[in-house]
Amino acid sequence: MSAPVLTVTLNPALDQTVLLDGLHPGQVHRASAAFVHAGGKGVNVAACLADWGGGPVAASGLLGADNQASFTALFAAKGIEDGFLRLPGETRTNIKLSHDGDTTDINLPGLIVPAGMEAALADRLESLAVPGGVVLLAGSLPAGIAPGFYASLIARLAARGVRVLLDSSGAPLKAGLSGAVKPFAIKPNRAELEELAGRVLPDDAALLAAAGELNAGGVELVVVSLGAEGAVFVTARQAVHAGLPPLRVVSSVGAGDAMMAGIIAALRDGAGLERIARLGTAFAAGKLGRAGANLPPREEIEALANQVVVKNLTKMEAEGMSV
């Protein structure tokens, strides 16, 4: 049995996806379909991992008690251990307008966490983390949680012998990387990596140099998501680019979370970088054909993984050095 996985989502959402033929501001639109799913980055990752199978999956964080039914139903249906703490009020709703393969997000405000709850929340998450397992800290932080919360949590969880992955952006990501203990892996997109690096990254050489700086600082795996262009997977010793030909898109919502699920599925099986890249890319591609945080059957994912084009990138050559 693979190592247990815990995903943490402190600012989850009910994702309302509306499918449109096009999007034109100021005009009336007629939707072709609409779906509501329990979501949030870590919830999506847990759902995809549950579909994949191969090991226990738990999800934790904060939920509003007043509209939790969709979440509890999802956890029960997919066999995900429910470790969420409930707060009075409602979990936020995020509206996703999907059109022509693109998605426009409208994220509503989330819950306000009562003062003094951080310590109890950290204790709860530490108690759920299993030594030797994988923990994903995912998404934004709700009002009332300090930007440095992830950084302190990474240190506590790492002390328990847990590999911690951080998939966030902005201040929480910067703070999470500023602590004495770094996350095992992060998955920024190009813009987020540029923000971390403080410079424009126009090509592969620049991306690899910026990722290499993070490797040198203690982050073992940096995955740079490039949207339709695939992704670059970088460690201190190896770098690869992975991609697939264009596929039919039902909804791109949660594709990045599906990629993270594939990365985790490979990591907990002790896979090498090429397998991590193939499975992460295949999970994301498989998700594109389905609404909600759902994967096709395992054999379809494996077939996609075999089709992934993996190109080896030599970091030292990109930096103008000899191998």
What pLDDT is stored for residue 246 in this prediction?
A: 63
Q: Residue 290 — pLDDT band, cuts 50, 70, 90? A: confident
User: How far apart, in whole angstroms, are the C-alpha atoms of residue 64 and residue 58?
Assistant: 18
Residue percentage of the chain with pLDDT more than 90: 72
For the residues 257-282, what does the mean pLDDT come to?
96
Joined tokens for residue 110: 């989330």
Q: Residue 37 — pLDDT band, cuts 50, 70, 90? A: confident
Contact between 267 and 278 (Cβ < 8 Å) = no
Does 257 participate in catalysis according to the annotation? yes
User: How far apart, in whole angstroms, are the C-alpha atoms of residue 120 and residue 109?
Assistant: 23
For residue 76, the one-letter residue type is A
Tell me the pTM: 0.90
Which alpha helices (DSSP H) does 179-222 contain, by range? 190-197, 204-217
User: How far apart, in whole angstroms, are the C-alpha atoms of residue 91 and residue 71?
Assistant: 10
Catalytic residue among 203, 204, 257, 269: 257
Would you say the C-alpha torsion 176, 181, 186, 190 has a positive or negative sign? Answer: positive
Exposure string (b/e) for 132-142, b if CB count within 10 Å is 16 or more? Answer: ebbbbbbbbbb
Of the candidates 116, 10, 1, 14, the one whose C-alpha atom is nearest the C-alpha of residue 57 is: 1
